Amino acid sequence: MTADAEAILGEIRAALPNAAVSLLKNPGPAAQHSLRVGNDDLLRVAAFLRDQLAFDLLSNATGVDWPEAEKADAVAIPEAEAGTAESGFLETVYHLYSTSKRIGPLVLRARTADRGDNACIPSLVSIYRSAEFQEREIFDLYGIVFTGHPDLRRILMWDEFVDHPMRKDYVAPDDYEYEPTPHDDVLEKAKKHYPANP
């Protein structure tokens, strides 16, 4: 049974009046509406959801890259007073379930300030241990820095890798396959990577 995001928003507002939480509507047939939580309040809200509303299972945590903010507003439509999204950003989406009440998913979203050096979101590992590897994966593939994560390292890519391959503007290298006799387009690309024949 899908959690009623609107009712839960009411409970959060009643218990944590200062928390920056707003409802984002999902226009699709799934109608899984989500709650956007401000980064400063993310840990408080997550702890409230876990301890008071019995959302004990953080099933899924994932990153999304939104270089164009309008697209994000089309998928998760903000309420009128909350205002539309700013310039491009990175987002994490969490799917919470309650194993005792058997409801879910409750969708939480947190957004970074930009896609550059301020791409930070507080880590939820202290509240949900299951975020540990998933946040490492988001860090690896999207470059979101989870402040407070106990062991933030690359997990799927190798440690020396630079850049974050799941970003929309990532350009795959063209030297991933060695070509013994390059010609045409491949030759042009190969010139960038291999020294010319003497």
Partner 1 sequence: MISDPSIFSPAPVLEGSDDDQLLRVSLGPQHPSTHGVFRMNVVLDGETVVALKPVFGYLHRNHEKIAESVTYLSSMPYTDRLDYICPLTNNWAYANAVEKLAGIEVPERAEYMRVILGELTRLINHTAFMGFILGDMGAWGSALMYAFRERELILDLFEDLTGARMMANFMRFGGCRNDLPAGWAEKCGKLVDDYGPFLDEMEKFLVGNEILLARCQDVGQLPPATLINGGITGPMLRAAGVNYDIRKADPYGIYERFNFRIPLGEKGDVYDRIMIRFLEMRESLKILRQALDQLPEGDHVNPKAKIRGFKPPVGEAYARIEGPKGELGFHLISDGTVNPYRYRVRPPSFINLTLLEDMCLGLDLADVVIILGSIDIVLGEVDR
Rule CB under 8 A: say whether 64 interacts with partner 1. yes
Rule CB under 8 A: say whether 45 interacts with partner 1. no
Residue 53 corresponds to which tokens in the numbers above?
């509303």
Rule CB under 8 A: say whether 10 interacts with partner 1. no
Q: Tokens 């899924």, residue? A: 60
Neighbours of 192 (CB within 10 A): 9
CB 9, min distance to partner 1, A:
18
Instruction: Select from 69, 75, 113, 190 the one that contacts partner 1 (CB under 8 A).
Output: 75
Instruction: Select from 23, 49, 107, 108 the one that contacts partner 1 (CB under 8 A).
Output: 107
Give the separation between CA 196 and CA 1, rounded to whole angstroms: 63
Give the separation between CA 21 and CA 5, rounded to whole angstroms: 11
10 Cβ neighbours under 8 A, 6+ residues apart: none
- Give the binding site for partner 1 (CB under 8 A): 1, 26-30, 32, 56-60, 62, 64, 71, 74-76, 93, 95, 97, 99, 102, 104-105, 107, 116-117, 119, 128-134, 141, 143, 145, 149, 151-159, 162-167
